[in-house]
Chains A and B, each alone.
Chain A
């Protein structure tokens, strides 16, 4: 169906692609060693010099970097480019600690936009499209990232940002929005508000594609969104440290294409740091191959995924990562068992009596961790027989236990009571005092 933004690069034979990666890896290692005191020290501590990196496999000789390095070197201690070359900063919210600052040269902004131009083209968008950017603008990378990417393919951008949902829906109709980019939880909210306004996204708008990310979401949620609105919902991935949102699934929807000329990804066993095979779950580690203000070497994002390096049926040769299982930061440990909120979501979204919004509360009663999952009962799921409702509660508990391996209390709540989010949804409240 859709074409390519840069067919030469996107369909490059693997051999050539690897040769390009190797060249760029050698250059970036030399570049950071020469330009960043942080990396020089780090390489020396690890006993490695740029000359030791001769092949792609040599990447394993390089030391890891982590979010804590960015924090410790706040604000710009890890930058490799001089301030005069930096044209923009973005700053993370710092919800889990000190904020982190990322920076871009003019070329970095170009590369970022190019990455998204390829991605947006791969889902069938072009200059005829109207792209409504419902990610936050400002210090968050989502809004401006998508904005530049969509402009690059010549689409008309509607820079609405987050919030003011009724107006977003009116503009969607008035300007004929064909694609929207926002968090999946915010889109669920838009769906709910549209329904209240008596507007059918399927019949009354031209929306055909959603580009959803910035938080983990499940295939079950994709199905709900697609069934209810008739759009195609695509997963987008990226984090501010590696520029921002960068990669999406293509129209085939079988994994997210990571542009190998820009990034080298490794998927490692988090315990041994050894690479896992294609198809096995591991932690994503990124090395930026074409980024100059803040290049990152073997950066451990903390996201768990599965890689597929087989060329895609869409014709692109670049490796794909499967839907993100969750960030190690988001993982809850309940009674010693690892629980990802995305697992809870995939169970709940398969149960028709459960509404689109939910939350997890974690508490400690005496020595025991207690997990409560609060779900909204849908109008269709409501039976006025108490026995039916108790049965539903029990069934949800059972389904959760089957996937999570731990018992969870289920609370049925009235629709509209769980807080709606405009940006990244806050699904978990952990009240345990550690």
Chain B
């Protein structure tokens, strides 16, 4: 199973930095599926799911960004009360820690997509699978 590669960037908190990231990806024809910015005062970390992470990583690196690739899980979440609870509770009961998470809703799907970075990705996949939670593949993310 190939994991979904999230692209993370170290950016200083000053005007125009996020625009530069967006422009770099746009010029390369790379599409952003989901994005979140975590800020910590004078700097922040941008995390993104891209349709073509390898290409995105390459162009960002060429443009001198500090960039890394991280394996994350993309799980489908019922778009109804309790949808998130089911997932995080399963992980918690199985002692899998969530480092961070963010969600997005796709135009086509009636379900929300939750991006998770966990400390034990194989175990998370296994325990969520047992609960019949649908985990998106790399190809599915690309095809959204």
Partner of A414, one of B11, B38, B70, B99: B11
A417 within 8 A of B: yes
Which residues on the A side are within 8 Å of B12 (C-beta)?
A: 413-414, 417
Decide: B100 and A385 in contact? CB cutoff 8 A: yes
- Please, how many angstroms separate the alpha-carbon atoms of A115 and B100 in the complex? 62
- Please, how many angstroms separate the alpha-carbon atoms of A389 and B9 in the complex? 12
Decide: A415 and B64 in contact? CB cutoff 8 A: yes
Decide: B65 and A386 in contact? CB cutoff 8 A: no
9-residue interface stretch from A119-127, A217-225, A376-384: A376-384
Binary flags per residue of B1-26, CB closer than 8 Å to A gives 1, else 0: 00000101011100000000000000
Interface of A is mostly: loop
Which residues on the A side are within 8 Å of B45 (C-beta)?
A: 384-386, 389
A412 within 8 A of B: yes
- Please, how many angstroms separate the alpha-carbon atoms of A377 and B11 in the complex? 10
Decide: B38 and A377 in contact? CB cutoff 8 A: no
Closest to A409 in B: B42
Partner of A389, one of B6, B40, B67: B40
- Please, how many angstroms separate the alpha-carbon atoms of A305 and B40 in the complex? 41
Which residues on the A side are within 8 Å of B100 (C-beta)?
A: 385
- Please, how many angstroms separate the alpha-carbon atoms of A414 and B9 in the complex? 10
A416 within 8 A of B: yes
Decide: B70 and A377 in contact? CB cutoff 8 A: no
Closest to A378 in B: B66
Decide: B66 and A377 in contact? CB cutoff 8 A: yes
Which residues on the B side are within 8 Å of A269 (C-beta)?
A: none
Closest to B66 in A: A382
B102 within 8 A of A: no
A390 within 8 A of B: yes
Which residues on the B side are within 8 Å of A151 (C-beta)?
A: none
Report A416 CB to chain B, min CB distance, Å. 5
Which residues on the B side are within 8 Å of A390 (C-beta)?
A: 40
Given A384-B8, A414-B12: A389 and B43 interface contact (C-beta under 8 Å) = yes
A411 within 8 A of B: yes
- Please, how many angstroms separate the alpha-carbon atoms of A104 and B68 in the complex? 56
Which residues on the A side are within 8 Å of B66 (C-beta)?
A: 377-379, 382, 414-415
Partner of B65, one of A378, A383, A385, A414: A414
Report B41 CB to chain A, min CB distance, Å. 9
Decide: A382 and B40 in contact? CB cutoff 8 A: no
Binary flags per residue of B79-105, CB closer than 8 Å to A gives 1, else 0: 000000000000000000001100000
Binary flags per residue of B47-76, CB closer than 8 Å to A gives 1, else 0: 100000000000000001111101000000
Residues of chain A in range 338-395 having any CB-CB distance to chain B below 8 Å: 377-379, 382-386, 389-390
Given A384-B8, A386-B40: A416 and B99 interface contact (C-beta under 8 Å) = no
Given A377-B66, A415-B64, A415-B66: A384 and B42 interface contact (C-beta under 8 Å) = no
Decide: A384 and B70 in contact? CB cutoff 8 A: yes
- Please, how many angstroms separate the alpha-carbon atoms of A292 and B66 in the complex? 55
Report B137 CB to chain A, min CB distance, Å. 22
Most B CB within 10 A of own CB, among A389, A414, A416? A414
Decide: A382 and B99 in contact? CB cutoff 8 A: no
- Please, how many angstroms separate the alpha-carbon atoms of A266 and B47 in the complex? 59
Which residues on the B side are within 8 Å of A378 (C-beta)?
A: 66
- Please, how many angstroms separate the alpha-carbon atoms of A360 and B53 in the complex? 37
Which residues on the A side are within 8 Å of B42 (C-beta)?
A: 411-412
Which residues on the A side are within 8 Å of B10 (C-beta)?
A: 377, 382, 389, 412, 414
- Please, how many angstroms separate the alpha-carbon atoms of A385 and B45 in the complex? 8
Which residues on the B side are within 8 Å of A385 (C-beta)?
A: 45, 99-100
Which residues on the A side are within 8 Å of B40 (C-beta)?
A: 386, 389-390
Decide: B43 and A412 in contact? CB cutoff 8 A: yes
Closest to A410 in B: B42
Which residues on the A side are within 8 Å of B99 (C-beta)?
A: 385
- Please, how many angstroms separate the alpha-carbon atoms of A378 and B40 in the complex? 18
- Please, how many angstroms separate the alpha-carbon atoms of A386 and B47 in the complex? 11
Report A414 CB to chain B, min CB distance, Å. 5
Most A CB within 10 A of own CB, among B40, B42, B66, B100? B66
- Please, how many angstroms separate the alpha-carbon atoms of A386 and B11 in the complex? 12
Closest to B65 in A: A414
- Please, how many angstroms separate the alpha-carbon atoms of A389 and B41 in the complex? 11
Which residues on the B side are within 8 Å of A415 (C-beta)?
A: 64, 66
Residues of chain B in range 98-118 having any CB-CB distance to chain A below 8 Å: 99-100
Which residues on the B side are within 8 Å of A417 (C-beta)?
A: 12
Most B CB within 10 A of own CB, among A379, A384, A390, A411? A384
12 contacting pairs across A/B (C-beta < 8 A): A382-B10, A384-B6, A384-B45, A385-B45, A389-B10, A389-B43, A390-B40, A412-B10, A412-B42, A414-B65, A416-B64, A417-B12
B-to-A contact residues, CB < 8 Å: 6, 8, 10-12, 38, 40, 42-43, 45, 47, 64-68, 70, 99-100
A-to-B contact residues, CB < 8 Å: 377-379, 382-386, 389-390, 411-417
Question: Other CB < 8 Å A-B pairs besides A385-B45, A416-B64, 11 of them?
Answer: A379-B67, A382-B67, A382-B68, A383-B68, A384-B6, A384-B47, A384-B68, A386-B45, A389-B43, A412-B10, A414-B65
8 closest A-B pairs by CB: A384-B8, A382-B66, A386-B40, A382-B10, A386-B38, A416-B64, A384-B45, A412-B43
